[in-house]
Structure 1
Amino acid sequence: MPVATPVRAEPAEVRLLGIRHHGPGSARAVAAELAEYRPDIVLIEGPPEADGIVHLAADPGMRPPVALLAHAVDDATAAAFWPFAVFSPEWQAIQHALAENVPVRFCDLSVAVQFADKSPDRGGSGDPLAELAAAAGYDDPERWWDEVVEHRRGDESPFEAIADAMTALREDRAAQGIREQRREASMRNGIRAARKEGFERIAVVCGAWHVPALREPLPPATHDRKLLTGLPKRKVTCTWVPWTHGRLASTSGYGAGITSPGWYHHLFTTTENVTASWLTQVARVLRAEDLPVSSAHVIEAVRLADTLAVLRERGLAGLAEVTEATRSVLCGGNDVQLDLVTRRLVVGELLGAVPDETPQAPVAADLTARAKSLRLRRDALEREIDIDLRAPNGTAKSQLLHQLRLLGIDWGVPSMSARRGTGTFRETWTLCWQPEFEVDLIAAGVHGTTVPGAAANTLRDEISDDAPLAVITTAVEDCLLAGLADALPDVLSALDTRAAADTDATHLMAALPALARAARYGDVRETDTGQLREVAQRMLARVCAGLVRAAQGIDEEAAIEMSRLVEGVHGAVGLLEGATEPWLGALTALANRDGVPPLLAGKVVRLLNDAQRLDSVEVALRLGRALTPGVTPAAAAGYIEGFFAGGALVLVHDERLLRVVDEWLTAVPPEAFVEVLPLLRRTFGAFAWPERRSIGERAAALDRPGARPANTENPVDDDRGRAVLPVISRLLRASGGAR
């Protein structure tokens, strides 16, 4: 909006408002000071590159928390954020300037210089709040600042006292680091520029630490020009992005973070009954989790918080008081429930919004449009959605989320559904939007201008000539899941070429399961997977031909890996038409070869038994040979581990196998039993408890042919059983069930 540039009639007055970057007391004090002072320009510590978009803060679609995002044009990963909440003093200063139609500018060191500066910095401010708090007798700087500044509601301005305290602190400190010197030189230049343009009433909102460096008299301009002249620069651009309260918290790693953004928001937006309204919100959170919290609980909690404030000589109950009241009264001393309140309220996950006309990178703009058309809203709290792939809208949602995952943007993460189902037509996703995804969207611009275009080019980059076969196969699956039909021919061509050149059967086995899974998507996603099935069939043929050779002469570690690969391929062949017989033939050939590691041999025999290619008599003979006295206990235990890793039901239902295992166990020498015990524990410990109990009962009855195991836990009382028979007989006659 156009603003008039005043003509200076007398020396300009500069009012310095030293603040903490986020806090309700600081924000309230800045708003009051600006309303009283009525400046004709407002300067704010922040990136000067954002001056061109600061006017968007007045748009009704702009809802804090939001952040300024600056990034290098040539490398989007070189990025920085300047977050603002409604209780941020800088945000209130921006709102005042825009409402009063006066210029508002950022006056910190240019981001272009900051991104290009690689020199090490020495010195710095450290934590001035900690020193002031210690001088006041506090061991917690956060609590001291809250009591002195953030919880204040009086009319007295705190800025002179803060400036004097910071001046005293800086006198005792070593010289500022070069970066801090440059930043303060830029702020002073901003003041000089405003004076030169004729502004008479200049308000500067900056971190309290910088106030002494901006006080009159300013050093000569030549001094600051010397600090800033000739510095390297990078081309940067700025925009507004949504932010969250969670990302304002110090636990998120944000440098100017605070511990309780949700509480600060409440303090700033609530004018009456602060304690009562807060504890009422706490009660709502607990009730939403079906926890018993009544109005009487809330009343008692308010009384306790207010009493604690009086005892501590505080004018208003602070976060410490309401937290203690919450723990004691509303949570009954349960810290798990208190942690829930902290996450939902004290920190909170409020997600801001920016106007539609906010400049966006092409990929980010495309995502915004697609998400809006699919009614996928961005939430900072995790939520679960079920997607029906039979519906066009559901397929489009799934494809968009898979495309974003290819770009490294995990807005959605596949999860197990609470609803049971075995069909492939439904997917469950856990959605949670993170502000940092905005940077990832900008970085994705090097691959394309749309989400699917960038995802497709990312896949093409992954299937380079030296990419492992398993990576290329996974890329095929990703391509189908994400609906990237344009990239599928390139990926399939790379897969066919790589598979034909790879003679290592283990590589083919590692790649085949993902390829077989991908082949089934033709049913639900209406994707033509004919070429895909042809490639999979050729790969399986090479696996079957090379399986026996790949399993010969391998050590124990390789046997474990081979066993895993065999199991993976076995599960995959059922998805490929006509693949079962060739594969079972290859397994039979492997099972009949000598020199196969015991673990792998046991696994293969078990798979053939489950597929009914070996009957129980043959399986018992093979198991008996593997457990003969001539076989070392360690090798026998390995065979058992491989065979029974598929489950315990075969032992429950086949007494012949159970007897073979029982006889072997009883014959293991005591000195060797300690050696095989870990393997046996690993094998049998994986069985379900009812299976282990049933095996034990059947094993106990082996020496008594025809005997049934006694039910020692729930013995049947025959006399009590006979006593209920007359009643049951009458009930059956009354219902017509007996004659």
Structure 2
Amino acid sequence: MSAEAVGAAESAGAGAASGAAVPEVTLLGVRHHGPGSARAVAAALAALQPDAVLIEGPPEADGLAAAAAEKEMVPPVALLAHVSDDPARAAFWPFAEFSPEWVALRHALDAGVPVRFIDLPAAQSLALGPRGGDDEEDRTVTGEGDTSGGDGASEEGEGSGVPGGTSRPAPVDPIAPVDPIAELAAAAGHADPEVWWEDAVEHRTPDGDPLAPFAALAEAMAALREHHPAERRDLVREAAMRQQVRAARRAGHRRIAVVCGAWHVPALAAMPTVAHDRALLAGLPKKAKVELTWVPWTHRRLSQHTGYGAGIDSPGWYHHLFTAPGQPVARWMTRVAELLRAEDHPVSSAHVIEAVRLADSLAAVRGRPLPGLTETLDAVRAVMCDGSDVALGLVRDRLVVGDALGEVPDSVPAVPLQRDLTRLQRTLRLKPEAAARELVLDLRKDLDVERSRLLHRLRLLGLHWGRPARDSVNSTGTFRETWQLAWEPEFSVRLVEAGQWGTTVRSAATGRAVAEAAKAELTALTALAEQCLLADLPDALPEVMRALADRAALDTDAGHLAAALPALVRTLRYGDVRATDTSALTAVAHGLAERLSVALPAACTGLDADGATARRAELDAVHQAVALLGGATAERWADTLAALAAREPHGGPATGVPGLLRGRAVRLLLDDGRLDAEEAGRRLGLVLSTASEPADAGGWVEGFVSGGGALLLHDPVLLGLLDGWLCGVSPEAFTDLLPVLRRTFSSLETGVRHTIGSRVAAGPLSAPAGAAVPDAPLDEERADATTEVLALLLGVRVPQPRIPRQVDRRATA
């Protein structure tokens, strides 16, 4: 073993023991967010009783460390650092209850000894940019597989969704990152690194010398670093850590405990000269101005491998291993049983006993010292879930990952916008929760109205804490809203970013809406106007309406107008319940409808099949919107529909309106009572004549019938015309029409299809106008079967017919 490895092992195990005058530095190499490492750190600190604790993390957070001792601070939490003038450039340092760094921090605070963070300052790490380059884009620096610790932070740029993202400098060196756990597991002959780490560390209860595990791990890391050189970024960070260790020695501390990623232990054990470290740090970019605070975190976010996640697959399981005082497997199975019972799964205490036994047996067969997560889940699936992965998925989601959401005390620094949101959450009794839940609001109640306004304002700011449920969006009612609520940790960054628009939620939402209105297109402006009304932003609405009127006056695209009008009219529905003035919107909506009535006929000419289908959806949406507007606008729209219905393609498809749209226009006029059934039948007869193209006629039928097939049941003339046309279509044309016909009739209700089929099967359907289709012959045998029931309902007695012996009464009934 090299001298560097020997030095690392000695420093990690016993430190320098040459006398009281020489500071003793004990290096405790850990795996971030590892419960086994956390237990080992707790035992080592209890034995060492250091007079200073140094932890891998941003030094700017030293002033925030004391907040971790407050009773209102409940992990999981995270340190948030962001560039003051560019909040999108941010980084998190997550801490769970089972994180070794959190254990060290709480030990120092409880013992009343100084605690310092010793990593590269956040001001320099954020200025330095993302770790590595594109080849490292998806590497989570605080992941479960990162024994070394990486940056100790999850960074994210402008919505990149991956570590890093603000800038993409070229890699400072071509050294490929190494996974220390995978290397050690391979050296030990294990194919699965996680299983090896779980057996070697997580299942180990500290006994004997509490420093022995750290000495062994330091020796292993020193050997690894001989064959896998560190990246330049790690070398720079380690130089900064050594500078902080020297500062602690100069401050007079004699028993110093350093908690850091195990990968860094060899570099901190073999201290080079001060000049060497200064040279490494000299090439760093200029420090950025940063701000730090504590924010709540979640187990679910810890489990994600990209973005702000930490890459821990099973934070709920790790939390259980760290907090269970004894018999962790039995206690875990009890929690699983409690969860499954709450979801109406039949699970008894016998299931728990058998699951524990099976997990122990699986561990013995697989040569493991104790059952791990794999064995427990296999036992749960077999015993409690009857082999179902559906029920097991519930266990994975609720227990293996979990919905824990941390809490942060009010004494922690926060931006004004965050403080205003916290005040509103308390006032409106809307507690942030990581688990998704449904919130139903009755807008006739003042409290629910205020809750709705808050959620809509946050959506304007990009904080989708609440998402409208589908039934709420599609509902025709005006007093009920349904939301799905789920709080995400990165909302803390969104709040910092939104601070540029205002210091309160209302002012920030107003500022953001005004800024968006200046650059939004017509369709986006209608949605923005709707949001301003729902969020009750009277200061923003005039600016949005002014921009909307300007865009509507200049936009001649019928598609844009058709997409904008329904959103405007839908917004008008909320005026009565919310007591919102919508007069400005009403004027714009009528103006859009007038322009659309003029532009639509020309826009429906010469469309192919896909274009006609898309235009038909717009036609339906605009028709519903105009029906709500009423008045002269509705009359003008009826004239537009009549014009569409009359524009037949006499000179070819490019000269007229497709049959799908003409048939739809006729049906809409018929449903509104502006066209009688006789006229509709006449037009259907003309379309289905031999002079029309079968494809165009099929489209006409689709547009006409798809509004509801009951029309064909009530008007036998229309059904007869359609039946006669289908019987007269040539075999070649019928083959081409078949997909259209199937699509048309498959949209009808099952009962309607069956009744139409029975009437067609009964005989010829052609009949003069106003004549009824002859009924099918009376089935006397089936009619007699109802006699007894009818007599019972009417309260009369009828003589029982004599039934031959050979006839089964059940068959007769």
TM > 0.5 fold call? yes
**Aligned residue in 1 for 2:688:** 627
SS at match of 1:446: coil
**Aligned residue in 1 for 2:338:** 284
Give the whole-Å Cα distance in 2 for the aligned partners of 1:64 and 1:255: 15
**Aligned residue in 2 for 1:380:** 434
Give the whole-Å Cα distance in 1 for the aligned partners of 2:236 and 2:367: 43
In structure 2, do the counterparts of structure 1 residues 192 and 246 end up closer, same or farther at CA, with 3 Å as the change threshold? same
Give the whole-Å Cα distance in 1 for the aligned partners of 2:790 and 2:516: 74
In structure 2, do the counterparts of structure 1 residues 731 and 410 end up closer, same or farther at CA, with 3 Å as the change threshold? farther
The structural deviation recorded for 1:531 is 2.1
**Aligned residue in 1 for 2:28:** 17
CA contact (8 A) 1:633 1:672 kept: yes
**Aligned residue in 1 for 2:804:** none
In structure 2, do the counterparts of structure 1 residues 721 and 710 end up closer, same or farther at CA, with 3 Å as the change threshold? closer
**Aligned residue in 2 for 1:55:** 66
SS at match of 2:628: coil
CA contact (8 A) 2:35 2:318 kept: yes
SS at match of 1:43: strand
**Aligned residue in 2 for 1:604:** 665
Give the whole-Å Cα distance in 2 for the aligned partners of 1:727 and 1:507: 63
Q: Which runs of 5+ in 2 are unaligned?
A: 1-18, 130-168, 649-655, 766-772, 799-813
In structure 2, do the counterparts of structure 1 residues 558 and 420 end up closer, same or farther at CA, with 3 Å as the change threshold? closer
The structural deviation recorded for 1:184 is 1.1
**Aligned residue in 2 for 1:571:** 624
Deviates more, 1:273-282 or 1:113-122: 113-122
2:149 counterpart of 1:97 = no
The structural deviation recorded for 1:724 is 6.3
1:680-695 to structure 2, matched below 5 A, reads 680-695=741-756
**Aligned residue in 1 for 2:52:** 41
SS at match of 2:294: strand
In structure 2, do the counterparts of structure 1 residues 553 and 73 end up closer, same or farther at CA, with 3 Å as the change threshold? same
CA contact (8 A) 1:113 1:234 kept: yes
**Aligned residue in 1 for 2:247:** 193
2:192 counterpart of 1:153 = no
Give the whole-Å Cα distance in 2 for the aligned partners of 1:77 and 1:647: 52
Report the residue type matching 1:145 in the other structure: W
In structure 2, do the counterparts of structure 1 residues 116 and 617 end up closer, same or farther at CA, with 3 Å as the change threshold? same
The structural deviation recorded for 1:353 is 0.5
CA contact (8 A) 1:697 1:709 kept: no
Note the alpha carbon deviations across 1:537-593, whole angstroms, 9 max, x for none.
222222223333333444444433332222111111222242322222222233233
Give the whole-Å Cα distance in 1 for the aligned partners of 2:530 and 2:625: 14
Report the residue type matching 1:372 in the other structure: R
**Aligned residue in 2 for 1:74:** 85
The structural deviation recorded for 1:361 is 1.8
CA contact (8 A) 2:363 2:369 kept: yes
**Aligned residue in 2 for 1:651:** 712
In structure 2, do the counterparts of structure 1 residues 426 and 724 end up closer, same or farther at CA, with 3 Å as the change threshold? closer
Give the counterpart of 2:125 among 97, 114, 134. Answer: 114
Report the residue type matching 2:23 in the other structure: A
**Aligned residue in 1 for 2:187:** 135
CA contact (8 A) 2:120 2:241 kept: yes
The structural deviation recorded for 1:328 is 0.9
CA contact (8 A) 2:54 2:258 kept: yes
CA contact (8 A) 2:465 2:486 kept: yes
Report the residue type matching 1:662 in the other structure: D
The structural deviation recorded for 1:497 is 2.3
In structure 2, do the counterparts of structure 1 residues 329 and 732 end up closer, same or farther at CA, with 3 Å as the change threshold? farther
1:445-594 to structure 2, matched below 5 A, reads 445-464=499-518, 467-578=520-631, 579-594=633-648
In structure 2, do the counterparts of structure 1 residues 549 and 311 end up closer, same or farther at CA, with 3 Å as the change threshold? closer
The structural deviation recorded for 1:411 is 0.5
**Aligned residue in 1 for 2:724:** 663
**Aligned residue in 2 for 1:430:** 484
TM-score in terms of structure 1 length: 0.93
Give the whole-Å Cα distance in 1 for the aligned partners of 2:44 and 2:363: 28
Note the alpha carbon deviations across 1:400-424, whole angstroms, 9 max, x for none.
1011111111100111459997531
SS at match of 2:581: coil
Give the whole-Å Cα distance in 2 for the aligned partners of 1:725 and 1:508: 58
Note the alpha carbon deviations across 1:188-244, whole angstroms, 9 max, x for none.
11111111222111111111111111113x111111111111422211111111111
The structural deviation recorded for 1:133 is 1.2
2:227 counterpart of 1:172 = yes
In structure 2, do the counterparts of structure 1 residues 372 and 731 end up closer, same or farther at CA, with 3 Å as the change threshold? farther
Give the whole-Å Cα distance in 2 for the aligned partners of 1:554 and 1:725: 57
In structure 2, do the counterparts of structure 1 residues 274 and 613 end up closer, same or farther at CA, with 3 Å as the change threshold? same
CA contact (8 A) 2:77 2:406 kept: yes
SS at match of 1:575: helix
Give the whole-Å Cα distance in 2 for the aligned partners of 1:49 and 1:78: 16
**Aligned residue in 2 for 1:65:** 76
The structural deviation recorded for 1:151 is 1.4
1:18-417 to structure 2, matched below 5 A, reads 18-118=29-129, 119=169, 120-121=171-172, 122-123=174-175, 125-156=177-208, 157=210, 158-173=213-228, 175-216=229-270, 218-232=271-285, 233-251=287-305, 256-416=310-470
CA contact (8 A) 1:18 1:207 kept: yes
The structural deviation recorded for 1:309 is 3.2
SS at match of 2:438: strand
The structural deviation recorded for 1:139 is 1.6
Give the whole-Å Cα distance in 1 for the aligned partners of 2:300 and 2:557: 49
Give the whole-Å Cα distance in 1 for the aligned partners of 2:276 and 2:221: 23
CA contact (8 A) 1:246 1:252 kept: no
In structure 2, do the counterparts of structure 1 residues 506 and 25 end up closer, same or farther at CA, with 3 Å as the change threshold? closer
In structure 2, do the counterparts of structure 1 residues 709 and 489 end up closer, same or farther at CA, with 3 Å as the change threshold? farther
CA contact (8 A) 1:124 1:176 kept: no
**Aligned residue in 1 for 2:142:** none
**Aligned residue in 2 for 1:707:** 775
Give the whole-Å Cα distance in 1 for the aligned partners of 2:589 and 2:795: 66
Deviates more, 1:149-158 or 1:247-256: 247-256
Note the alpha carbon deviations across 1:455-478, whole angstroms, 9 max, x for none.
1122112222x6322221211111
CA contact (8 A) 1:659 1:702 kept: no
Report the residue type matching 1:471 in the other structure: A
SS at match of 1:82: strand
Give the whole-Å Cα distance in 1 for the aligned partners of 2:393 and 2:367: 27
SS at match of 1:528: coil
Give the whole-Å Cα distance in 2 for the aligned partners of 1:30 and 1:126: 24
In structure 2, do the counterparts of structure 1 residues 695 and 720 end up closer, same or farther at CA, with 3 Å as the change threshold? closer
The structural deviation recorded for 1:287 is 0.9
Give the whole-Å Cα distance in 2 for the aligned partners of 1:467 and 1:311: 64
SS at match of 2:599: helix
SS at match of 1:93: helix
Report the residue type matching 2:22 in the other structure: P
Deviates more, 1:72-81 or 1:492-501: 492-501
The structural deviation recorded for 1:313 is 4.7
Give the whole-Å Cα distance in 1 for the aligned partners of 2:705 and 2:725: 15
Q: Which runs of 5+ in 1 are unaligned?
A: 1-7, 734-739
Report the residue type matching 1:83 in the other structure: P
Deviates more, 1:466-475 or 1:401-410: 466-475
Note the alpha carbon deviations across 1:380-415, whole angstroms, 9 max, x for none.
111101111111111110011011111111100111
CA RMSD of aligned residues (A): 2.4
Give the whole-Å Cα distance in 2 for the aligned partners of 1:382 and 1:535: 38
2:737 counterpart of 1:676 = yes
What percent identity do the matched residue pairs reach? 54
Give the whole-Å Cα distance in 1 for the aligned partners of 2:452 and 2:778: 54
Report the residue type matching 2:276 in the other structure: H
CA contact (8 A) 2:472 2:480 kept: no
Report the residue type matching 2:562 in the other structure: M
The structural deviation recorded for 1:355 is 0.5
